[in-house]
A and B are shown apart, each in its own frame.
Chain A
Amino acid sequence: MMDFILLGIGRWVHIAAGVMWIGLLYYFNFVQVPALADAGKDGTGAGITKHVAPRALFWFRWAAVVTWLAGALLLGHNFFKAFLFLDRAFYAIGLGAWLGTIMIFNVWVLIWPNQKKILGIVSATDEEKGKARRVAFLASRTNTMLSIPMLFFMAAAGHQGIFFG
């Protein structure tokens, strides 16, 4: 029963939260940023920045936390074996876990604090907002780039024989 809760339900939660996290990451990069660029030309971006972005960011950053915690729960006593590459069987998942960890760092340390300045949740000068835009943008794009190998290694981890011979 405990295995079912940890490995079954835990895996389901990990994947569902991961879909929400990476789905919203792709929404920001593939939809919202280009949409705001167009909206900026005719001054119609307020609806997105006021009503959509804060809600999307809420689910985005908390989905990241749930994904990471559920992943750590799934690794269980193999957590350090995976993160420290102590066992060959955990090389692929260890690399995926490291990429995911870098990504959650970017979410909470680079993207969210800077988005708070951009969206006016905390006060900032125009110069600070300009810098915040650039840092949040590059951190978000970095996460989009890292998500590609991260998803590959997450998928490959359960099938190391097929992927790595």
Chain B
Amino acid sequence: MAAVQSVETRFHLEGIRMKNPLDSLWGTVISGLVLTLILYNVVKYALQ
């Protein structure tokens, strides 16, 4: 796990150090829920 986290786990955006949400389980689950919400609205819009 230490090796996993040591390789490019963080990136910089305009001076702010950001963490990849997929590096944590909660980040992964929340990303999945947000993606579900977005895709749900895309399909709902397309079906109107």
Contact = CB atoms under 8 A, between A and B. Distances in A.
Interface residues of B, number: 23
B1 interface: yes
Contact of A95 (B2, B28, B39): B39
A48 interface: no
Nearest to A92: B43
Contact of B28 (A134, A141, A160): A141
Contacts of B35: 145-146, 148-149
Contact of A145 (B1, B22, B43): B22
Interface of A: 29-30, 33-34, 36-37, 40, 85, 88, 91-92, 95, 130-131, 133-134, 137-138, 141-142, 144-149, 152-153, 160, 163-165
Interface of B: 1-4, 7-8, 20, 22-23, 25, 28-29, 31-33, 35-36, 39-40, 43-44, 46-47
Give the 3 A-B CB pairs with smallest separation, nearest first: A148-B32, A37-B1, A141-B22
